Structure 1
Amino acid sequence: MSWKWEYAFGAEEASRTAPADFLAGVERKADELVRAAEALHVHGRAHAGADPKGGDVIIPGGMFTYQVVVRSERVYVVQITCLGF
């Protein structure tokens, strides 16, 4: 399995109505988070500790909240907030 990111919970539903340029910004930053998590947690599936704390990322037009789940090798975007509506 390789590292990926995906929308979780209500963020997937909210992404259906968000502007395309805002979603492109979310995708770019989420890709960066995936590369960073992959470099930091080389043996993700064998990880035995607690998952790192997630965070908020501010992007043009809003922000999003993410969570890293190391054993699943996933970065989940759990909430998006678009200020451009």
Structure 2
Amino acid sequence: MSWKWEYAFGAEAAARTAPADFLAAVSQQAEELVRAAEALHVHGRGDEGTDPEGGDIIVSGGMFEYQVVVRSERVYVVQITYLGF
């Protein structure tokens, strides 16, 4: 298994109605998070520690909240907020 990102919970439903340029900005930043998590957590599925604290990232048009789950090798986008700026 390799590191990936995906929408979780209600973020997937919210993504269906968000503008494409906003979703592209979210996707770009999520890909950066995946690369960082993969470099930082090289043991991935074999990791025995706790998952790092998630966070918020501001992108063009709004923001999103994410969570890294090391043993699943996933970055989950758990909430997106389109503000239109």
Is the partner of 1:26 in helix, strand or coil? Answer: helix
State the Cα deviation string for residues 53-80 of structure 1 (Å, max 9, x = none).
0000000110000000000000000000
Q: Specify the alignment match of 2:29 in structure 1.
A: 29
Whole-angstrom CA distance in 2 between matches of 1:23 and 1:82: 9
**Runs of 5+ unmatched residues, structure 1:** none
Whole-angstrom CA distance in 1 between matches of 2:42 and 2:9: 27
Q: Specify the alignment match of 1:4 in structure 2.
A: 4
RMSD of equivalent CA atoms: 1.0
Structure-2-length-normalised TM-score: 0.98
Q: How many residues align?
A: 85
Q: Specify the alignment match of 2:14 in structure 1.
A: 14
Whole-angstrom CA distance in 2 between matches of 1:49 and 1:34: 18
Offset of residue 22 of structure 1: 0.1
- What is the identity percentage for the equivalent residue pairs of Structure 1 and Structure 2? 80
Question: Any runs of at least 4 consecutive aligned residues in structure 1 with deviations exceeding 4 A, and if so which?
Answer: none
Kindly provide the amino acid, as one letter, of the partner of residue 2 in structure 2.
S
Kindly provide the amino acid, as one letter, of the partner of residue 60 in structure 1.
S
Q: Specify the alignment match of 1:44 in structure 2.
A: 44
Offset of residue 84 of structure 1: 1.6
